A and B are shown apart, each in its own frame.
Chain A
Amino acid sequence: MNMNALSILLVEDNPDDEELTLRALRQNNIMNKVDVVRDGVEALDYLFCQGAHKTRNPSQKPAIVMLDLKLPKVDGLEVLRRLRSNESTRLMPVVILTSSKEEQDLITGYSLGANSYIRKPVDFKQFVSAVGQIGLYWLVLNEPPPK
């Protein structure tokens, strides 16, 4: 399987975090295509190929969604809920990548079917390590659900 053929969807409103995440991915030699959406509405448009992403090929599903929780317009948990309730995206791997360690967010995230919950560390070196492990796990070790 061509690892590079798998794409990553990064849902992140903070440009700094976006830049740092992309940097961490690069540093881990994860060269897969990364699509970035910057709020919940855009994320849903992307995933359901609607609105601004109407022309996107629905069969091109990201191998992993890195989802921030605190998002403008529609928050991350709501994005997750809609994603899980849609047949085409029901099984899509979702890693919550957030600053929050609130118990409520953890419970809601997992009960909505998040595959993983990562809290972004302040220490960038730790962050790079975490992103590397996410990439290694979801893009290399993990067998994605059948299309």
Chain B
Amino acid sequence: MIALAKLRDIGESLIARASIRWLALLLVSAAVIATAANSYREIDKELTEMTLSRRETIAQIAAIMLAEKFGRVMDVAVSLATRVRFSELVTQGQWTEAVKIMKNVPQDFPHVERLFLTDAKGILKADVPALSGVRGTNFSFREWYRGVSWDWRPYVSPVYMRTAAPRINVFAVAVPIRNATGGVVGILVLQIRVQSLLEWINTIDTGRKGFVYLIDSKGQMAFHSRDRDRSGITDLSGTPVAKKLLRGEHGVETGLDPVENEESIVAYAPVPGYGWGVVSQQPLRASLAFATKEAQLRRLLTGYGFILVLCVTAIFMVSRIAGERKRAEDGRRMKAKLERRVAERTHQLDAANKELEAFSYSVSHDLRAPLRSIDGFGQALLEDCADRLDDQGRQYLQRIRNATQRMGVLIDDLLMLSRVTRAEMRRETMDLTQVAQSAIIGLEIIEPNRKVECQVQTGMVADGDPRLIRIVLENLLGNAWKFTQRTDLARIEVGSHTDDTGAPVYYVHDNGAGFDMTYADKLFGAFQRLHAASEFPGTGIGLATVQRIIHRHGGRVWAKGETGKGASFYFTLGSFTRSTPQENPA
């Protein structure tokens, strides 16, 4: 149940963490997208306005220029028509004389194709350059005639194509010629080449694929900047733009251009005072500003997209880092917990050791005291009351004493075993040869009559606790000594060699009673004996003590033997043995 609840907690916290991450993502994404959209709108609007106003400006400038041109041509015409001598000649009907005054005009005024004079009814009287067959022709059907005769004021006609060659588009500026009293006596008509007059339009930068065209006062297209050599006249009076221009309106709009058949920006401006108009047009897609706009917006969106990606990445990184930090924190907490537990265990172990110490003390003191009493009084009984005991009684008493003494040895061995477990380890480099030799001397002192050939390798050193290693060698040599007691030419050898890893392996070899390898695993257990006590006395604790000491050094101990052929005991002292003294921490 607890595990389940914990699992649920973990799950919930995971979900909570995940949802916080998603929420943050959502918020940031929304903010970025909103900003992007707003910027997009703003820039779109600005660029659109810029493009439109640019187009409109072109139209308006062109319209003003055109008005200016018209004004000039008009001024020329009026100044010619109002020359005194000229008007006198016309008044007198001397057309040929009158036109002579004008004969240099087409050369002097480059836009003028030709000029001619008509009477007030529109009948051609004279022309420059003179064309054959036109004199006497009635031109009152011409637009210019109707225009000028309407109120007898100077008039700019719509565009028309010349009847005679070259059949180019022209328009007429018609100015009435008046006599001294102000009566109209004739009309001076200047035929103006559209193309020539409007050459300047080509100097206007109309932008990529942009163009300008003129609408005359009849709604016809008088000039097209992209197609200025064309002759012929297109009637556009039906188009909305022409209609607006004819009404004198100006403006700018986008829409489908039926001629070009694509979305275009169309700006239009009337030429004030002449009923003409200028149209400046550019395909929407070709518009530099629009193209720029799209590029700009693309850049903008790319930028914002980039920011969005960055934000998302940042959020993931932050959440990742936070997660990692949390894991590290968990790790730290776990470590602290473990350390606390280790400290607790160490404390408990210390307490247990203290208890064990107290127990051992009691054992060594209190358990041995009654043994001493039993042994002592047994002996006293033997000595004082020997005469009152028969042989059997004395034998029993002796057995009691033997058992008591054996118990004493057992207690001492057990104490030794517990002591090597508790003793503090102090590793140092020690002279193993010397320790082995002194242990052998000890054995020889106890049993000076034994003849054992002992061979100890010289110069053996080991890293270990000298007191504990001494106990190891004393036990192993004691065993070797003990188990060779029935061997003729008893031999004990102490030495060392290195194993595969280069670590030293120490050994004690004897040619004594040996043991059956089948029971090799029992050798190192406490109270385990492979020989009868009557054969070889012992408590069975010695090898257990040896093993414990070796294990405390982090080493390994093992034995090889064969019944009747001796035994070999090997031990190592852990990885510590390979370190050099310089590397050893103090």
Contacts and interface: CB of A to CB of B under 8 A. Distances in A.
B377 A99 contact: no
B371 A101 contact: no
Nearest to A105: B361
Contact of A122 (B365, B375, B415): B375
B537 to A, nearest CB: 14
B434 interface: no
A23 B380 contact: yes
A120 B361 contact: no
A16 B379 CA distance: 13
B376 A16 contact: yes
A87 B216 CA distance: 147
B404 interface: yes
A137 interface: no
A101 to B, nearest CB: 6
Given A102-B361, A122-B405, A124-B379, A20 B373 contact: yes
B360 A124 contact: no
B495 interface: no
B407 A20 contact: no
A143 interface: no
Contact of B376 (A100, A102, A127): A127
Nearest to B412: A101
Nearest to A20: B376
A7 interface: no
A99 B380 CA distance: 20
Interface in A68-127: 69-70, 98-103, 120-125, 127
Given A102-B360, A122-B404, A16 B375 contact: no
Contacts of B50: none
A35 interface: no
A99 B364 CA distance: 6
* Interface size class of chain A, counting residues whose CB lies under 8 Å from the partner chain: 20 to 34
A106 B463 CA distance: 27
Interface string B393-407: 000000001001101
Contacts of B372: 16-17, 20, 99, 120-122, 124, 127
Given A16-B369, A16-B377, A124-B379, A101 B364 contact: yes
Contact of A16 (B373, B404, B408): B373
Interface string B15-43: 00000000000000000000000000000
Contacts of B415: 101
Contacts of A122: 368, 371-372, 375, 404-405, 407-408
Contacts of B368: 99, 120, 122
Interface in B344-379: 360-361, 364-366, 368-373, 375-379
A14 interface: yes
Contacts of B404: 122
A16 B371 CA distance: 11
Contacts of A101: 364, 412, 415
Nearest to A103: B419
A131 B309 CA distance: 97
A124 B364 contact: no
A99 B360 CA distance: 12
Contacts, number: 65
Contact of A17 (B369, B401, B412, B419): B369
Contacts of A16: 369-370, 372-373, 376-377
A120 to B, nearest CB: 6
Contacts of B371: 122
B365 A123 contact: no
Nearest to A23: B380
Interface string B404-430: 110110001001000100000000000
B361 A124 contact: no
A109 B485 CA distance: 39
A50 to B, nearest CB: 28
Contacts of A125: 379
A103 B372 CA distance: 21
Contacts of A19: 376
Nearest to B360: A102
Interface in A59-74: 69-70
Interface centre among A103, A121, A122, A127 (most CB of B within 10 A): A122
Interface in A1-33: 14, 16-17, 19-20, 23
A100 B361 CA distance: 7
A125 B378 CA distance: 11
Given A17-B372, A122-B375, A100 B408 contact: no
A37 to B, nearest CB: 18
B135 to A, nearest CB: 156
B405 A123 contact: yes
B379 A70 contact: no
Nearest to B370: A16
A102 B370 CA distance: 18
A124 B376 contact: yes
Interface string A125-147: 10100000000000000000000
A9 to B, nearest CB: 20
A78 B371 CA distance: 26
Interface in B271-305: none
A14 to B, nearest CB: 6
A61 to B, nearest CB: 29
A4 to B, nearest CB: 24
A23 B412 CA distance: 25
A109 to B, nearest CB: 14
A17 B373 contact: yes
A127 B376 CA distance: 9
A70 B362 CA distance: 10
B365 A98 contact: yes
B408 A123 contact: yes
Contacts of A121: 372, 408
Given A19-B376, A102-B364, 18 more contacts: A16-B369, A16-B370, A16-B373, A20-B373, A23-B380, A98-B365, A99-B368, A102-B361, A120-B372, A121-B372, A122-B375, A122-B404, A123-B408, A124-B375, A124-B376, A124-B380, A125-B379, A127-B372
Interface of B: 360-361, 364-366, 368-373, 375-380, 401, 404-405, 407-408, 412, 415, 419
11 contacts: A16-B372, A17-B369, A20-B377, A99-B366, A100-B364, A101-B364, A102-B360, A103-B419, A120-B368, A124-B376, A124-B378
A-B interface, 6 closest residue pairs, ranked by CB to CB distance from nearest: A122-B408, A16-B373, A20-B376, A124-B376, A124-B379, A99-B365
